[in-house]
A and B are shown apart, each in its own frame.
Chain A
Amino acid sequence: MAITVRGVTKRFGDFVALDEVSLAIPSGSLTVLLGPSGSGKSTLLRVIAGLELPDSGRVSIFDTDATDLPPQKRGVGFVFQHYASFKRMSVRDNVAFGMKIQKRPKNEIRARVDELLGLVQLQGLAERYPSQLSGGQRQRMALARALAVEPKVLLLDEPFGALDARVRKDLRTWLRRLHEDVQVTTVLVTHDQEEAMEVADRIAVVNHGRIEQYGKPRDLYEHPATEFVMTFVGPVTRFREAYIRPHDLDVGREPRGSYEEATVEKVVHLGFEVRVELTLAEGDRLEAQLTKREVEGLELLEGQRVFVSPRRLTRVDQNGSAPHVTSS
């Protein structure tokens, strides 16, 4: 195990940010800590890095107890949401910083900086200053800087949060490919579930300072352990007292068996996907997700009477945990 977190609790005054959190992250994996704002995911990352000290619990990095070690001695690379570029230094000096601290020979530093800049596609920008770079470039520089000291573990705190949507998507793909090349155990914090699904080997869903589920993205999506995981990971719509994924809702023009009657309220075209907002007979609102072709085939229009049937329902207990999944 690359990182082991055992029973970590962290309070800020009265607020409990982390509540007896335990987690074991395998070596070489890309784990995403996914959760809403205030869930404790960033705090957990910072505890792993040594930038926050837990009130109780232990942290181990590659079987060495790191709990009492300062960040300098943990061998972690950290990438911040707002880049934390050394603004008075050039790109070259930023990336070289860790190696200069280690007093590596000058030619080794120069060679490695050039290599890393090539890796993150910033070659030719070595003499620029961070203020002359775009957000995406600054974050790539931050990654190069963190990787320069060959960290055992790479920690990224909402690295794409400050960038706009297009850049975010591009960097997401890029990061995934980088991870496949470099193979460093990586932990990434985000509130964007789409980002998590796309990038992660494993996702830990964090909510109110606790980990609700830790597993492969597909497992979280298809077999959510709690109501929160179901509603947070992936789109969800209510079908009376149960939850359903919008694309698991069949829509037809003809009544058939168990199908229920519904009225089309709105058809929203989102490129290839189409969101169809429906109301059931008793007034309950629903959302179905169909492809453009399906919608055209059905000739769906607003105000039409249609028939719906859920393919896969998830019922939730009173206390919101351990949902039961029924397929039909």
Chain B
Amino acid sequence: MSEAHAQPLASGGPADRAASRGRGVRALLVGIALLYVLVLIVAPLGGIIFYGLRSGLGAITDTFSQQDVVHAFYLTFVIMLIAVAVTTVLGLAVAFVLARDRFRGKSFLSALVNLPLAVSPVVVGLMAILLFGRGGWFEPFFTAQGIRIVFALPSMVLVTIFISIPFVIREIVPLLEELGTEEEQAAWTLGASRLQTFFRITLPNIRWGLFYGMALSAARSIGEVGAVLVVSGLLQGQTETATLYILRAFDQYQPERGYIVALMLAAFSILVLIGIETFKRRSLKRAGE
């Protein structure tokens, strides 16, 4: 029996129509996401790379032979190392308290930990000036000891620590909550002290979250401008970090040097993050998760 009406070639039922609509929506969302990342992240980065490398290798070596550039990088990395060390050790302690203990005021502490993300770094710098600058609450004590806080390294370290506080904590708390305490309890029953349990069981389990938090903390520290600007007094060659150097470079119409230093900072952060991601993936593969 031949059909009087022509049948459509595809099945063309409701399921197929919904599927192709779904695919279209997904493609649209992926397109928007890619565009967003491209325009706001990749393009500016590309711009920096382009302008940084445009003047050629000679300009780069020339820049890094400058006394104030070298000092600026030195300062940036010293501050970063101290900030990461402090926020990691204290961050671990705070994360454990937040994840494991129950006490009144816990949500308040949690909010406090996130405060540095919400406060403008300039305000942080001003707070430091108010506390440690002339007439500040703590100023008499330090002046008596002969220690200079503001317009010197100590205040720059302090404000950088402040703005990096949240990163390690925010990575570790959900990790600790998800891991639970069972492995640790098992370790105790097997004779491990709390310290041994921490180093042999807990730390390895939170290792990648910890490294990731430290990487974010490092990246944020080297990129800090506002707070450090306020407390440093902009003493060239003395309290000028890499980011402050970049500001001055543009201010004094030497943008190539600015681009080159900016490129170095960006490259460092990206390399650290890529390294962490790669190691993380390798570690997960080995543990078979």
Which residues of A are in contact with B by a Cβ distance under 8 Å? 49-51, 70-72, 76-78, 80, 82, 84-88, 97-98, 101-102, 129, 131-132, 142, 145-146, 148-149
- Name B187's contact: one of A77, A97, A131 (CB within 8 Å): A97
List 5 A-B pairs, Cβ < 8 Å: A70-B188, A80-B182, A82-B182, A87-B289, A97-B187
Once the chains are docked, how many angstroms separate the CA of A145 from the CA of B289? Answer: 21
Once the chains are docked, how many angstroms separate the CA of A71 from the CA of B189? Answer: 5
Instruction: Answer yes or no: B201 CB below 8 A from chain A CBs.
Output: yes
Tell whether, in the assembled complex, residue B191 and residue A78 are in contact, meaning their CB atoms are under 8 Å apart. no
**Nearest Cβ distance between residue A112 and chain B, in whole angstroms?**
14
Most buried by A among B186, B204, B289: B186
Interface residue range, chain B: 10 to 19
Using A98-B190, A101-B191 as known contacts, say yes or no to A87 and B287 having CB atoms under 8 A apart.
yes
Tell whether, in the assembled complex, residue B288 and residue A149 are in contact, meaning their CB atoms are under 8 Å apart. no
Using A86-B183, A129-B287 as known contacts, say yes or no to A98 and B191 having CB atoms under 8 A apart.
yes
Give a binary string over B174-200; 1 marks a CB under 8 Å from any A CB, 0 the rest.
Answer: 000000001101111111110010001
Tell whether, in the assembled complex, residue A145 and residue B205 are in contact, meaning their CB atoms are under 8 Å apart. no
Chain B residue contacts of A70, Cβ below 8 A: 188
Using A87-B205, A88-B205, A129-B288 as known contacts, say yes or no to A102 and B191 having CB atoms under 8 A apart.
yes
Tell whether, in the assembled complex, residue A101 and residue B192 are in contact, meaning their CB atoms are under 8 Å apart. yes
Using A84-B182, A88-B287, A129-B287 as known contacts, say yes or no to A76 and B192 having CB atoms under 8 A apart.
no
- Name A72's contact: one of B182, B188, B205 (CB within 8 Å): B188
Please provide the 10 A-B residue pairs with the shortest distance between their CB atoms, ordered closest to farther: A98-B190, A84-B186, A84-B182, A78-B189, A71-B188, A131-B288, A129-B288, A101-B191, A88-B204, A71-B189
Chain B residue contacts of A51, Cβ below 8 A: 185, 188-189
Tell whether, in the assembled complex, residue A49 and residue B189 are in contact, meaning their CB atoms are under 8 Å apart. yes
Tell whether, in the assembled complex, residue A86 and residue B289 are in contact, meaning their CB atoms are under 8 Å apart. no
**Nearest Cβ distance between residue A321 and chain B, in whole angstroms?**
37
